[in-house]
Amino acid sequence: MLYSPDAGQLIGSHHGSLALFYRTHVSVPVYEEISCQYSLYIKARDGSFVQLGETGHGRYDSEVAHDWREVCFGPDVHWEGHRPATLTALGIFGLTHEQLLQSEWVQNDTLTVKCLLEVRPRYFDSRLSVGLSAELPGPSIVRDMQALFEKGTNSDVRFMVEGEVIHAHSAVLCQRSDVLESQLTTGMQESISKVIVIEDCSARIFRAFLKFLYTDNLPSVEELAAQVSCSAADDDSWQLKEMQALLAVSH
């Protein structure tokens, strides 16, 4: 931080009274950029801090700065000979150095300054509203896995069930079923042919089982259970047989 008693030269062509000082440490010709927001506060005699000027914004861009490696930011900092019309008073709270020494802002010959500094990421755009947000799509893994099963894209396993061919993916099957993993990876005939014949199970039930392996969803279980519990038929009923077949395959 720099202070000029007469609100004169700080560094180079920068003039003002109190300022933040930045010097780049880059010693080779590479691109460097910083952007910051700052607020300066002066401590009063009662211990409170009062903001000096408005919250300011500063930026250093080596492409614009060319050969100079230092820059100042502050409420009354300006280029020599280019004082803005809005800058009506120089000095801390418009006081001269002599007035400042006798003011409430100096205690025991000490001026206490607090600085709130926020360094912003490169290419920060101050025009962006803080309230802007992006709408992220909801989870789609279940839907995507179901589509993968139904389309059979890049499938490498075929199940033969009641004369019907059902395509599947060995990566999913091995991850989800120890029985199928054993059939497909331990040198059994199915591991070579990638064709598995399913008996004693209807194609509809086995397809529902595979859908469960892909999506973790099996709504037909509740439907079949409801049919069995509400039926007075004996164990030979087709509902119970399908239920038993489903449980046998799934275990």
Of the candidates 104, 59, 75, the one whose C-alpha atom is nearest the C-alpha of residue 4 is 75
**Does residue 133 lie within any of the structural domains?**
no
pLDDT for res 199: 87
Reported as a pLDDT band with limits 50, 70 and 90, residue 14 is confident
Question: 149 and 115 in one domain?
Answer: no
Residue 186 scores a pLDDT above 90: no
Residue 123 scores a pLDDT above 90: no
Question: 155 and 243 in one domain?
Answer: yes
Q: Span 190-210, mean pLDDT?
A: 87
pLDDT digits over 132-169, tens only?
567 788 889 999 999 999 999 999 999 999 999 999 99
Question: 211 and 163 in one domain?
Answer: yes
Q: Span 11-32, mean pLDDT?
A: 72
Domain around 175: 141-250
Which residues are 40's β-sheet partners?
52, 115
**Does residue 127 lie within any of the structural domains?**
no
pLDDT for res 161: 92
pLDDT for res 10: 84
Question: 219 and 188 in one domain?
Answer: yes
How far is the C-alpha of 11 from the C-alpha of 241, rounded, in Å? 91
**Does residue 38 lie within any of the structural domains?**
yes
Question: 203 and 238 in one domain?
Answer: yes
Number of domains in the chain: 2
Domain end: 89, 120, 151, which one? 120
Q: Are 16 and 90 in contact (CB under 8 A)?
A: yes
Of the candidates 77, 84, 74, the one whose C-alpha atom is nearest the C-alpha of residue 36 is 74
State the amino acid at position 171 in one-letter form: A
pLDDT digits over 66-80, tens only?
555 677 888 888 878
Question: 153 and 98 in one domain?
Answer: no
**Does residue 207 lie within any of the structural domains?**
yes
Domain end: 120, 155, 179, which one? 120
Entry pTM: 0.44
CA dist list (Å): 82 to 5, 59, 85, 96: 20, 18, 9, 20
Domain end: 69, 89, 120, which one? 120
And the tokens for 63?
Answer: 């492409």
Question: 207 and 239 in one domain?
Answer: yes
**Does residue 212 lie within any of the structural domains?**
yes
Residue 195 scores a pLDDT above 90: yes
Question: 159 and 53 in one domain?
Answer: no
Question: 199 and 98 in one domain?
Answer: no
**Does residue 14 lie within any of the structural domains?**
yes
Question: 207 and 103 in one domain?
Answer: no
pLDDT for res 228: 46
How far is the C-alpha of 246 from the C-alpha of 251, rounded, in Å? 9
Question: 165 and 59 in one domain?
Answer: no
Residue 235 scores a pLDDT above 90: no
Of the candidates 239, 155, 157, the one whose C-alpha atom is nearest the C-alpha of residue 205 is 239
Reported as a pLDDT band with limits 50, 70 and 90, residue 28 is very low
**Does residue 42 lie within any of the structural domains?**
yes
Domain at 154, CATH number? 3.30.710.10
Question: 88 and 9 in one domain?
Answer: yes
Q: Greater confidence, 251 or 136?
A: 136
And the tokens for 47?
Answer: 């211990």
In a 10 Å sphere around its CB, with 0-12 CB exposed, 13-18 middle and 19+ buried, how is residue 184 labelled?
A: buried
**Does residue 109 lie within any of the structural domains?**
yes
